[in-house]
Amino acid sequence: MPHDQFRNVHTWVFDLDNTLYPASARLFDQIEVKMTSYVMSELGVEQDEADTLRSQYWRDYGTTLNGLMQVHNIDPAPYLDAVHDIDLSGLALAHDLADAITALPGRKIVYTNGSRGHADNVMAARGLTDVFDARYGIEDAQYQPKPNQAAFEAIFAQDGLTATGAAMVEDDLRNLAAPRAMGMRTLWVTDAAHDPAADATTDDLTEFLRMVKM
């Protein structure tokens, strides 16, 4: 059973967006609109070009922000504030998920390519604030994004986390490559077919985590 691979995990690292809430909440639709608007304003380009750059930078640099920093030298802090100024009223409290995470053995942290403030807001909206021992945003990795291994190493060093025996839970498959290479177990949260690049795949995170304890 895929759950068996996670029974000796001592630290659980959870991504935030589309992982600790369902992709059907479509928060990233709002974020993408904000990102496009920011690119238009900062670079003085039309919407079509801004959309193209947003997607290109995400693909080539890991995040749109990293591309904007590398190519255009933008200040990351105002960008993060702007793109995460979204409506979270569509998020429901996740009591079952909270119980499943709480029941897991070991330490639990959140690590997102978004900001710490965004993580705090989403966790509060989902009723998950007290479930985690720590949360880290992209600013804690000096704005280096996942999937770069250096970003994971920076966060893990701050947390005192040993990768061997830890697990990474993510909705973006490319963000699992570095943790797996570092010795972590990897869980891909998706409704797609399983990919051998991850140790396990689930479309129901709550139920998967419950099964780890059985």
pLDDT at 128 over 90: yes
Asked if 17 and 55 sit in the same domain, the reply is no
Asked if 13 and 47 sit in the same domain, the reply is no
Residue type, 54: R
Asked if 179 and 139 sit in the same domain, the reply is yes
Q: How confident is the model at residue 24 (pLDDT cuts 50, 70, 90)?
A: very high
pLDDT at 1 over 80: no
pLDDT at 4: 86
pLDDT at 42: 94
Q: How confident is the model at residue 191 (pLDDT cuts 50, 70, 90)?
A: very high
pLDDT at 23 over 80: yes
pLDDT at 156 over 70: yes
Q: Which domain holds residue 7?
A: 2-21+91-212
Reference 95, options 133, 134, 131; nearest CA is: 131
pLDDT at 3: 79
Q: How confident is the model at residue 124 (pLDDT cuts 50, 70, 90)?
A: very high
Mean pLDDT of 10-21: 97
What 6-10 contacts at long range (C-beta under 8 Å, 24+ apart), as own/partner pairs, is: 6/167, 6/185, 6/187, 6/200, 6/212, 7/212, 8/165, 9/104, 9/105, 9/106, 9/165, 9/166, 9/167, 9/185, 9/212, 10/105, 10/106, 10/107, 10/162, 10/165, 10/166
| Residue where one domain finishes, among candidates 83, 105, 126 | 83
pLDDT at 16 over 70: yes
CATH of residue 192 = 3.40.50.1000
Mean pLDDT of 86-104: 96
Q: How confident is the model at residue 18 (pLDDT cuts 50, 70, 90)?
A: very high
Asked if 100 and 65 sit in the same domain, the reply is no
The pLDDT tens digits of the residues spanning 39-84 come to 999 999 999 999 999 999 999 998 999 999 999 999 999 999 999 9
| Residue where one domain finishes, among candidates 83, 118, 153 | 83
pLDDT at 13: 98
Asked if 69 and 117 sit in the same domain, the reply is no
**Cα dihedral across residues 81, 83, 85, 88: positive or negative:** negative
The span from the CA of 93 to the CA of 69, in Å, is 35
* Secondary-structure breakdown of the chain: helix, strand, coil percentages, each rounded to the nearest 5: 50, 10, 35
pLDDT at 2: 81
Helices (H), 44-164: 47-61, 64-72, 76-83, 95-102, 116-126, 149-159
Mean pLDDT of 179-202: 96
Asked if 132 and 176 sit in the same domain, the reply is yes
Asked if 96 and 187 sit in the same domain, the reply is yes
Number of folded domains that form the chain: 2
Mean pLDDT of 80-106: 96
Asked if 69 and 155 sit in the same domain, the reply is no
The span from the CA of 18 to the CA of 25, in Å, is 8
Residue type, 203: D
Asked if 172 and 104 sit in the same domain, the reply is yes
Mean pLDDT of 156-177: 97
The span from the CA of 113 to the CA of 17, in Å, is 9
Buried b (16+ CB within 10 A) or exposed e, 115-126: bbebbebbbebb
Asked if 130 and 179 sit in the same domain, the reply is yes
CATH of residue 76 = 1.10.150.450
Contact 29, 209 (CB under 8 A): no
Mean pLDDT of 112-124: 97
Mean pLDDT of 151-158: 97
| Residue where one domain finishes, among candidates 63, 83, 103 | 83
Asked if 77 and 173 sit in the same domain, the reply is no
Asked if 69 and 115 sit in the same domain, the reply is no
